[in-house]
Amino acid sequence: MMLYHTNDLHDPVFDQEVDHESRYFDNIRELAEGNFSDPGEEFTADATLIPVTDYYGDARAIAVQVDFSTVGTLPDEDVDGWWQLAAAAHDAGDELEVEARLWTCSDWEKDFYASVRLALPNVEDGLGQVEDDITATNLAAVDGFANPLEEYWDPKWRKAHGMTDAEYKARADEVHRKAEAYRTEQGQEHATTSFVPANPYTSPVKRPEAAPAQVDWTHLLTPDPSPRASLFQRGYARGVAGKAMGNVRAPRIDYATVQQCRNIVSSFGGDVTEIDKRGSSLLKALWWVLLIVLSIWALIGLATAPVGLVLTALIVWPFAHHYWTRRKLTAPFGPQE
What pLDDT is stored for residue 64 in this prediction? 92
* Average pLDDT value for the chain: 79
pLDDT digits (tens, 9 = 90+) for 198-208: 343 333 333 34
| Closest among 201, 199, 195, 158 to 48, alpha carbons compared | 201
Predicted local distance difference test score (pLDDT) of residue 248: 66
Neighbour tally for 234: CB within 10 Å: 24
CA dist., res. 39 & res. 29, Å (int):
9
pLDDT of residue 73: 92
Q: What is the pLDDT of residue 212?
A: 39
Residue, of 333 and 188, whose pLDDT is higher: 333
C-beta of residue 64 within 8 angstroms of C-beta of residue 23 = no
Question: What is the mean predicted confidence (pLDDT) over 262-267?
Answer: 85
Distance between CA atoms of 118 and 16, rounded to whole angstroms? Answer: 5
Report the alpha-carbon distance of residue 319 to residue 258 in Å, rounded.
22
Q: What is the mean pLDDT of residues 60-65?
A: 91
**For the chain, percent of residues with pLDDT exceeding 70:** 87
pLDDT for the residue 187: 56
Distance of CA 175 to the CA centre of its chain: 22
Q: Pick the residue with more confidence: 9 or 144?
A: 144
Q: What is the pLDDT of residues 157-183, one digit of tens each?
A: 888 888 888 888 888 788 777 767 766
User: Strand locations in 124-276, DSSP E?
Assistant: none
Element (H, E) at 89: helix 76-91
Contact 245, 274 (CB under 8 A): no
pLDDT above 80 for 3: yes
Distances 265 to 9, 97, 189, 201, 291 between C-alpha atoms, Å: 36, 22, 20, 18, 27
DSSP alpha helix (H) spans, 92-222: 123-130, 136-140, 155-160, 165-185, 217-220
